[in-house]
Structure 1
């Protein structure tokens, strides 16, 4: 991610600055999926400070200690520091903290920030690393003016080996932050395109900065998709498999399950039937995918937690697009049949976009871009038998329920009114505070004509022109 496009990390930087200004030592855990912008965030945080940034590698502990020693040597401006052979990470950090330069720096600034990026690489090489760093923190860093930031892209390792209850580091952290993709509202800062085009980019990449920077703003959406996804050896053609290999040593069954979900097999029974895997195996893999935030489990928004009406969807738009369109076409892409693949993708992209537009609308509601003055307690889809509503928002304090239909299409006033009237009828089947509740029916579409008249009829209606992009 380039320094030019460092966009909208205000909250993340404020969090790090607040921890830096505290009057105690800090152990911060920062993590998030690959390419989300963690490294650039940390480098930006260190920009105006005397601090240490170290990128761990997959090499041996001895090699990493040598890399750490060299970075620390450069920071201290002491070549002799790197000439010592340190037997352990503890010996390295003990030597650093006792160095005469450390006290000089602390007199200038309250605290020395130390960032270890891709910390999971160390753990993969040696599972005792969390125990080593527990000892380093407890005996050497906790009572010294340091801010230690452990960062990583492997969600499984960061949540289990670093943040997990059984981790030696459990209870030591003083703060944690999961770095999320950028909001849709900030995509225009990468691409000066129309809101429709930006929505389509979101449907294919989500808000991943490293992916957005690959798009060429001087060409159109489909030219970019062809170059980035449908060309042999292209970056985004291969990225999904790398993401999964990063989390799983044997990703084959995960690939099969994700492909089934992307093809709209969303219930447990449908996934089992589509994949041919047995129930216990599918349940196990789904559980892992949910822990990694790759798959999201859904219940009807008003259902009890014990309900069996569960559905599954891929949380990440990039992975959703890749499994729906790229993975099934890998043989054709390798054979350089790009024009034929593009025709097939374009043929089915509208249907795919409809489902992703629901997800985008959900994000915009959670970010309070839509319905900003309403405090929402619950938000999700609702279904019963053959009846479905795209999104239902519950506001318990006001006995308010908002039912939302999402349509990725251009609608006339009459078409919009017809959809809203049917939505009113469906909303009466939702059992939630039926005696006292107020129900608002809303429509969110690509483009809707006659919005003012529809609003006068008592409905909420929004299209892309209402989004402050």
Structure 2
């Protein structure tokens, strides 16, 4: 495993620096799923600053209080104190912090499992630190616990934070900063199985990507083989239920009733579970762009989970027993097809980047998929105020000029079904490779392939 350079997170660092520049007590929450780089972000911010930093563990709160005592002793150059409560520890810190001092409590969610500690931190925040010059940074991998503690109205800690930094995964474009000389095709493959999670990217070199996928997912001793199950068990009290729901979506069940039937649950209960998975960034709920619809569908937002439930979960016991042949055959047969759906997300990010750089015929304000009955358009970008629409098909294929022209003409026919009468309409195609792009563009079609991705990212 190679630790790569610190990538992206510029806005988050700027926010932390701005809050650090304030006078008085400041409380900051850093959230995001495990392995997303929360600790690394804060460590970058702490460079050159006075700070007490503690990483809590999944153990009794007394054990973690002892870790805080040791960190206090090290910071102030004194023997480790023996404070018996967190309140006493922070009372001492507050008394010593006339100048700006940062206290970073990593994996704070391990304390939130104890209701008495959660209530104690209300007193610490409201009374003990209120007049201090402490900047308290709390990070948590268990997003559900943190949300219940700081964003649930009934919680003692509700509404106490000055800022919440919710770290998303890295975008596709950041893979070119992470890996040196990675090809666009290999970047798509890496992104399709890691979803841009920094810890997962550390396990890849970006060269023989399919070989690296085999090693990282189909070896019972590998980290990514176990990771999905461990994440669900860490986050949820009923991991088996969530596992079954994700299994259903991996099998193509996208509507609440279909998913509920597969999981043997009532639809109303299923909807609640799905909303939680949506809150955690594992799933996304989609409504058709450009069309009014009450009932959406659920798809994977996190591509690591999408890949794991598509190729690993059905063969988990066999792989664990050292018999991965069936899983590997399925991977070799179906991976290219899987990349087609993952490439839609990459294409969406590409269009958003073009939009941001004003390299499209108009600036869109909404983008998403469209479907109705058996018809589907991969991406529809809209500017509702100006009544302009861009329809785009996405193909993970090498296309001849003739094939590309056929896809674009069919797209024009399908776009009429969307019903945007009187709108200005443009049509586009994103593919792995397109022959004769320039000639197709002369017809007023918008055509891009991986070479255009490379140019956009290098500019």
TM norm structure 2: 0.93
Q: Which of 121, 129, 132 is 1:141 aligned to? A: 129
Choose the corresponding residue for 1:359, options 324, 329, 345: 345
Residue 258 of structure 1: SS of its match in structure 2? helix
The range that moved more, 226-235 or 158-167, is 158-167
**1:181 aligned to which of 154, 169, 177:** 169
Which of 186, 195, 204 is the aligned partner of 1:215?
204
**1:232 aligns to what?**
220
Corresponding residue number in structure 1 for 2:424: 438
One of 367, 372, 385 as aligned partner of 1:397 = 385
Q: Is the 8 A contact 2:103 2:137 kept in 1?
A: yes
Structure 1 residue 299 corresponds to structure 2 residue 287: yes
- 1:134: how far off? 2.0
Counterpart Cα distance in 2 of 1:312 and 1:464: 28
Residues 399, 434 of structure 2: 8 Å contact kept:
yes
2:413 maps to which residue? 425
What's the secondary structure of 1:446's corresponding residue?
Answer: strand
1:120 pairs with one of 109, 127, 137: 109
Deviation (angstroms), 1:370: 5.5
Indicate if the aligned counterparts of 2:94 and 2:133 stay in contact, CA closer than 8 A.
no
Shift of 1:419: 0.9
Q: What is the alpha-carbon distance in structure 2 between the residues aligned to residue 334 and residue 171 of structure 1?
A: 45
Counterpart residue number, 2:22: 22
Equivalent residues of 2:355, 2:363 under 8 A apart = no
Name 1:7's counterpart in structure 2: 7
User: What does 1:225-264 align with in structure 2 at a 5 Å threshold?
Assistant: 225-264=213-252
CA–CA separation in structure 2 for the residues paired with 1:346 and 1:210: 25
Q: How many residues align?
A: 451
Shift of 1:235: 0.5
Measured in 2, the distance between the counterparts of 1:226 and 1:387 equals 35
CA distance in 2, matches of 1:4, 1:225: 19
Give per-residue Cα distances to partners, 1:228-270, cap 9 Å, x unaligned: 1011121100000011111112211211110110122112232
Are residue 95 (structure 1) and residue 83 (structure 2) matched?
A: no
Q: What residue is the counterpart of 1:382 in the other structure?
A: 370
Checking the alignment, whether the CA contact within 8 Å between 1:227 and 1:234 is kept in structure 2 is yes
Equivalence for 2:66: 66
Shift of the alpha carbon at 1:83? 3.1
- The 3-state SS of whatever aligns with 1:352 is helix
Deviation of 1:167 after TM superposition, in Å, equals 2.6
In 1, distance between residues paired with 2:329 and 2:106? Answer: 42
Contact 2:291-2:418 within 8 A present in 1 as well: no
Name the structure 1 match of 2:270.
Answer: 282
d(CA) in 2 for partners of 1:35, 1:411: 37
Q: Report the Cα distance in structure 2 between the residues aligned to 1:65 and 1:227, rounded to whole angstroms.
A: 40
Q: Secondary structure at the match of 1:447?
A: strand
3-state secondary structure, aligned to 2:316: helix
Structure 1 residue 272 displacement after superposition = 3.0
How high is the TM-score relative to the length of structure 1? Answer: 0.91
**The residue matched to 1:210 in structure 2 has which SS?**
helix
Contact persistence 2:217–2:225 (CA under 8 A): yes
Task: Please say which of residues 383-392 and 315-324 is displaced more in the overlay.
Answer: 383-392
Query: Do 1:300 and 1:309's aligned partners in 2 also have CA atoms closer than 8 Å?
Result: no
Structure 2 stretches lacking a partner, 5+ long = none
Cα RMSD after superposing both structures: 1.9
CA deviation string 1:340-371 (max 9, x = no partner): 422211101122111111122223334x2467
